[in-house]
Amino acid sequence: MSTLPKVAWIGLGIMGSPMSENLIKAGYQVTGFTLEQEKLDRLSAAGGTAAGSIAEAVRDADVIVTMVPASPQVEAIAYGPDGILENARSGALLVDMSSITPQTSVDLAKAAKDKGVRVLDAPVSGGEAGAVEAVLSIMVGGEQADFDEAGPLLEALGKTIVLCGPHGSGQTVKAANQLIVAVNIQACAEAVVFLEKSGVDLRAALDVLNGGLAGSTVLTRKKDNFLARDFKPGFRIDLHHKDMGIVTDAARTVGAALPVGAVVAQLVASLRAQGDGGLDHSALLRAVERLSGDRV
């Protein structure tokens, strides 16, 4: 009989499915719920249990993990008579791994406390590949004791796991992460177009650049996307657009100027407006190509 905590997993998308499967591989009993039947079938095939509702999934859970797209979805699954807070047992630990506004996380922690539910905000970085390989970076906000309790579970999902401060701090750090990633992808995309227009062997150029100071995890993970123009979504432009809204709003609130970030946020928004919101964020290359006259 497993002594590991029982886990409810809400949200089985591009990130949530492989992450929940990594918990199953680590020996956790995982009961999941999502809106798409094929994703519930995938969970069952991996050894998990599919639930028919949020209430059913969380009722007996020691730990509840949520991984949904944005603040409205977190609020939809957390609140109300059919939501997590009304149906979780007192003492349960809710680990929200969605990328949402810091204030949403703070509000959720306050509401959950009234129900006897503890909360950590624990957004991640690393994309689909990081989720599959269980090497995500996990930035956490909340109480030290809850972080310590969640440690073994988080270690089955990621490699770099850090408590960043009180509730909402994980989301603030994730917003900064998304700022850095977007600017980095944009810089790589501009370099790709510059190199190709200059007649340089692109693969060779990216290899040598990635071995020096210009190297980055972004370039390592997205190099093949750039070379093959393969923009199958690992992290969609739609979601990065949402995240750039979070970081620019949060920065305005605290009085931090983000001049480069503001420009890249507009470039992400422009790409989305052109119909590319469902593509991987490496598709920022398409926007640079359009600006350079190479794509209609």
Q: Which of 39, 174, 223, 242 is catalytic?
A: 174
Spell out a b/e string for 124-149, using b for 16 or more CB atoms within 10 Å of the CB, else e: bbbbbebbbebebbbbbbbeeebbeb
Under 8 Å CB-to-CB from 92, ≥6 apart: which residues?
Answer: 58, 61, 62, 63, 64, 116, 117, 118
* 174 in catalytic set: yes
What does the block give as tokens for 53?
């509702």
Rounded Cα–Cα distance for residues 206 and 241 (Å): 26
How many Cβ atoms from other residues are within 10 Å of residue 82's Cβ? 12
Q: Where does residue 57 fall: left (phi above 0), alpha (psi -120 to 50 degrees), or beta otherwise?
A: alpha
Beta strand 158-165 with 93-96: parallel, antiparallel or unpaired?
A: unpaired
Contact 108, 96 (CB under 8 A): yes
Rounded Cα–Cα distance for residues 60 and 50 (Å): 14
Rounded Cα–Cα distance for residues 135 and 161 (Å): 10
Active-site residue set: 174
